[in-house]
């Protein structure tokens, strides 16, 4: 017998909407939608949401979608500042032994990055102090992971990613390479700098309305994949950055912090001659089994 959907009280309305998803063929879809409705209705009731506020929320989400493009993902940015990105990272990537911890993906990853060899300079003209980054990728058992694909992307000394420049025709500070047979990697880029997340869109409005900051500490993004191992999406942070305890997206973990050491002009460890001061960073990644 069909349920009469008339003259529903607020509580009856919530139950009726929850029940309306009860025949979803997928058990997981049913669980997600019914829980979403229950919590959304509970939120509206708890704060006594006004019609004007609900309309403003719909407008905010509409403009968030309109701000997305091939090189900007405002919804990921919104997820980041609400802490949802880190929450889902934590749920889906529990710490396994000494495996490197995961953190947020961020809104500036781009598919199809250029391929480099170990020792190459992926900065490709990005402004900033030269920086040699190197280390190893291994499994929990200590065995080297050769042939692991490493995607790398970072901001330059202006605090901007390459995709944030309107007139830039080539990737900078972005690329991928593969570890050698001993699991080693090395590449040149520029020393990362702290930066403010984009605040010229709806997410910026949200942060200003909340009186929140929008800085991210200096970091380099890494995404490492290899058959038989869990994909690792993480950052390496600079230990001297002043924003480590004020990250706008809550992504800092102590195990991901390391030093970027300054060196005077001269011969770098890989034999490269530099006429200006440069930096070096060494960090080993440990992959968990898939």
pLDDT in tens, 84-109: 999 999 999 999 999 999 999 998 99
| Alpha carbon 125 to its chain's center | 24
Residue 111 lies in a domain: yes
215's enclosing H/E stretch is strand 215-216
What average pLDDT score do residues 156-184 get?
95
Q: Which residues contact 109 (CB under 8 A, 6 or more apart)?
A: 151, 153, 221, 223
Strands 285-287 and 130-139: parallel
**DSSP category for residue 105:** -
Joined together, the tokens standing for residue 119 give: 């020792």
For 214-271, write each residue's pLDDT tens digit.
999 999 999 999 999 999 999 999 999 999 999 999 999 999 999 999 999 999 999 9
- Look at residue 2 and tell me whether its pLDDT is greater than 60: no
In a domain, 107, yes or no: yes
Please count the structural domains in the chain.
1
Residue 282, C-beta contacts closer than 8 angstroms, at least 6 positions apart: 133, 134, 135, 258
Q: Does a structural domain hold residue 72? A: no
Q: Which domain holds residue 282?
A: 87-287
225 inside domain:
yes
* Residue 43 is assigned to a structural domain of this protein: no
CA atoms within 13 A on the CB side of 279: 17
pLDDT above 80: residue 178: yes
User: Nearest 5 degrees, angle CA 81-CA 83-CA 86?
Assistant: 120
pLDDT in tens, 15-48: 999 999 999 999 999 999 999 999 999 999 999 9
Strand 195-196, strand 215-216: pairing: antiparallel
Confidence at residue 3, expressed as pLDDT on a 0 to 100 scale: 63
Residue 31 within a domain? no
For residue 69, count other CB atoms closer than 10 A to its CB: 9
Sequential DSSP letters for 223-290: EEE-TTB--EEEEEEETT-TTTT--TT----GGGEE--EEE-SEE-TTS-EESS-EEEEE--EEEPB-
In the chain, which ranges are continuous DSSP H helix?
10-20, 27-47, 51-66, 74-81, 84-92, 202-210
CA–CA dist 255, 244 (Å, integer): 12
Query: Are the C-beta atoms of 201 and 60 separated by less than 8 Å?
Result: no
- Domain for residue 59, yes or no? no
In a domain, 141, yes or no: yes
> Rounded to whole angstroms, how far apart are CA atoms 288 and 92?
13
Residue 72 has pLDDT above 90, yes or no: no
The CATH number of residue 135's host domain is 2.60.130.10
Dihedral (CA of 99, 105, 110, 111) sign: positive
């Amino acid at each position: 017998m069909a349920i009469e959907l008339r003259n529903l009280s607020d509580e009856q309305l919530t139950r009726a909407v929850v029940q309306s998803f009860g025949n979803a063929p997928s058990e997981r879809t049913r669980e997600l939608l019914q829980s979403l409705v229950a919590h959304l209705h509970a939120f509206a009731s708890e704060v006594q949401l006004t019609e004007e506020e609900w309309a403003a929320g719909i407008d905010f989400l509409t403009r968030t979608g309109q701000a997305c493009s091939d090189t900007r993902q405002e919804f990921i940015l919104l997820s980041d500042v609400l802490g949802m990105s880190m929450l889902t990272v934590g749920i889906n990537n529990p710490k396994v032994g000494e495996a490197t911890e995961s953190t947020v993906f961020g809104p500036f990853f781009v598919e199809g990055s250029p391929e480099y060899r170990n020792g190459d300079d992926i900065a490709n003209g990005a402004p900033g102090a030269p920086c040699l980054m190197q280390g190893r990728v291994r499994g929990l058992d200590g065995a080297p992971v050769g042939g692991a694909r490493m995607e790398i992307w970072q901001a330059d000394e202006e605090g901007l990613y390459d995709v944030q420049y309107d007139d830039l025709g080539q990737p900078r500070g972005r690329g991928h390479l593969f570890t050698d047979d001993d699991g080693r990697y090395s590449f040149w880029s520029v020393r990362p700098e702290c930066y403010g997340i984009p605040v010229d869109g709806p997410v910026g409005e949200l942060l200003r309305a909340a009186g929140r900051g929008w800085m991210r500490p200096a970091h380099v993004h890494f995404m490492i994949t290899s058959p038989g191992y869990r994909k690792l999406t993480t950052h390496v942070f600079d230990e001297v950055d002043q924003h480590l305890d004020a990250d706008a997206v809550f992504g800092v973990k102590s195990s991901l912090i390391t030093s970027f050491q300054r060196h005077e002009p001269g011969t770098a460890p890989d034999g490269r001659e530099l006429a200006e001061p440069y930096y070096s960073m060494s960090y080993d990644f440990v992959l968990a089994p898939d």
